[in-house]
Amino acid sequence: MKVLLIDDHPLILAALQSVIEGLGTDTTVVGAASARAARATLKADADFDLVLLDLHLGDADGFDVLAELRTQYPALPVVVVSASERTSDVIRAIDAGAMGFVPKRASNETLFEALHMVMSGGIYVPPMTMGSEPATKPEGDTVPSVLRVVGEEPDDDSGFHTQTVPLAELGLTPRQTEVLALLLKGQPNKLIARELNVSVETVKDHVAAVLRALGVSSRTQAVLAVSQMSNPGGLSAWRKTAR
């Protein structure tokens, strides 16, 4: 696996490079200390399997770089690795096409889990993100209650709960479950329709039913909601049962 790591902090760049190389002997990590360096690297050789992107770069806004990467290299998965743990940043990153969001304070095991999930076609969202700030989207809309913390006391020293309604209790039909599994992989309605051999209109109906069951209004919110269900590993555990 060939990974491009974009981070303008030398110590973090070196540390992350060392950690990622620990994924296996066949893992190669190329570091870029700026957006300009990353652009030059990809222009010279775009044969990468994964990009890890810091949001706070000295010469560019990380979200702008994310949008640029998704436009110019749509098949190249991007995982945001950021010091920020704000819900709005997670939502914005996934909305912009990131396949994962990993806080820099996460453990090596969490980073490995996230990368494996993304390389398997999934989307990784950190369970600890929900509740770390007021539940609002960047546009000011209220985040649905399924994404909010519950209870009065924290479950652990992270300072907030991650308990939500289990997926099994949502009452999804087998077909709706299949649609949700594909939706969480980032597939558009046309590709979902093709894979399930149904019409696009039928897929739209199933997606609408899934969003209603989750109590959310967008695909991004669905990803975040599912990531919170059952337990901190709920999303990865659910993916295995949904296949």
CATH of the domain at 236: 1.10.10.10
Same domain as 116, residue 29? yes
Of the chain, the end-to-end C-alpha distance in Å amounts to 24
Helix axes 234-242, 174-183, angle to 10 degrees: 120
33 and 105 co-located in one domain:
yes
Write down which residue in 129, 153, 176 finishes a domain.
129
Does the residue 161 lie in any domain? no
Specify the number of domains making up the chain: 2
Position 168 scores a pLDDT of 66
**In contact, 124 and 98? CB cutoff 8 Å:** no
The predicted structure's pLDDT at residue 167: 62
Phi, psi (degrees; rounded to nearest 5) at 130: -65, 130
The verdict on 39 and 111 lying in the same domain is yes
What is the C-alpha to C-alpha distance for residues 43 and 58, in angstroms, rounded to an integer? 20
* Residues 119 and 40 placed together within one structural domain of the fold: yes
Helices (H) and strands (E) in the chain, counts: 10, 5
User: What does the alpha-carbon distance between residue 103 and residue 82 come to, in Å, rounded to a whole number?
Assistant: 5
Cβ-contact 1, 23 below 8 angstroms: yes
Residue 205 belongs to domain spanning: 167-242
101: exposed, middle or buried (Cβ count in 10 Å: 0-12, 13-18, 19+): buried
Residue 153 located in a structural domain? no
Distance, CA of 238 to CA of 181 (rounded, Å): 9
- Residue 226: its pLDDT value, please? 78
Q: Are residue 119 and residue 176 in the same domain, yes or no?
A: no
pLDDT value of residue 228: 65
**SS percent in the chain: helix, strand, coil, step 5:** 45, 10, 40
> Is residue 162 domain-resident?
no
In this prediction, residue 131 carries a pLDDT of: 41
Tell me the C-alpha to C-alpha distance, in Å, between residue 26 and each of 2, 22, 23, 42, 48: 8, 10, 8, 20, 13
Does residue 98 belong to any structural domain of this protein? yes
Q: Are residues 101 and 51 in the same domain?
A: yes
Instruction: Tell how far CA 141 is from the center of its chain.
Output: 20
pLDDT value at position 162? 36
Give the global pTM.
0.66
Among residues 76, 106, 129, the one where a domain terminates is 129
Q: Of 106, 129, 152, which one is at a domain's C-terminal end?
A: 129
Residues 55 and 122 in one domain: yes
Statement to judge: residues 107 and 222 lie in one domain? no
The whole-number pLDDT of residue 97 equals 87
Asked whether residue 154 is assigned to any structural domain, the reply reads no
**Residues 183, 115 share a domain:** no
Tokens representing 130 are 């929900």
Residue 158 lies in a domain: no
In a shared domain, residues 85 and 182: no
Q: Domain containing 114 — which CATH number?
A: 3.40.50.2300
Mean pLDDT by 10 residues, the chain (243 residues): 93 88 85 95 95 94 95 92 87 88 89 86 68 42 37 35 54 90 82 93 93 85 71 41 42
**146 within some domain:** no
Same domain? For 17 and 78 the reply is yes
* Residue 232 and residue 174 share a domain: yes
Q: Please report the pLDDT score of residue 46 as a whole number.
A: 92
Residue 203 placed within a domain: yes
- At 175, which amino acid appears? R
